Amino acid sequence: MMILGMNLLMGGLILTVITAGGPNLLFYVTQQPLTQSAVLGLVLTITGFLILSASFVLVVHYDRQRSWHLKEIEKSTRLRNKKVTIKTADELLKELADENREK
């Protein structure tokens, strides 16, 4: 989407510069009657800016979503990686025997 916005923006700017014939683009749009190519350049430029702006907003949104997912994955792996001590049957019997002796 960002690439589409950049292509439309650059296409519109190039078309406007070609039809204007000079660097005074603001005065070109306001003072001269608009031809079909000038309107097309203006539409491409405005559409390019809008799509590019929307893509920047989406990039920030999806990045925040991705970081939230990564934090959740990290939390779940921390719980899984806790060391669980597995005792053999002999160790359990010894502990029970020691507890019974103390009582």
Binned at pLDDT 50, 70 and 90, residue 31 comes out as low
In 1-103, which ranges are E strands?
none
**pLDDT > 90: percent of the chain:** 0
Binned at pLDDT 50, 70 and 90, residue 84 comes out as low
Residues 6+ apart with CB under 8 A from 60: none
Binned at pLDDT 50, 70 and 90, residue 30 comes out as low
* Domain layout of the chain by residue ranges: 2-102
pLDDT confidence of residue 103: 66
pLDDT confidence of residue 23: 54
- Global pTM reads 0.53
Instruction: Share the mean pLDDT of the chain.
Output: 77
Contact between 77 and 24 (Cβ < 8 Å) = no
- Summarize pLDDT for 36-74 with one digit per residue, the tens: 777 777 788 888 888 888 888 888 888 888 888 888 888
The residue written with tokens 């950049």 in the block is 6
Contact between 45 and 7 (Cβ < 8 Å) = no
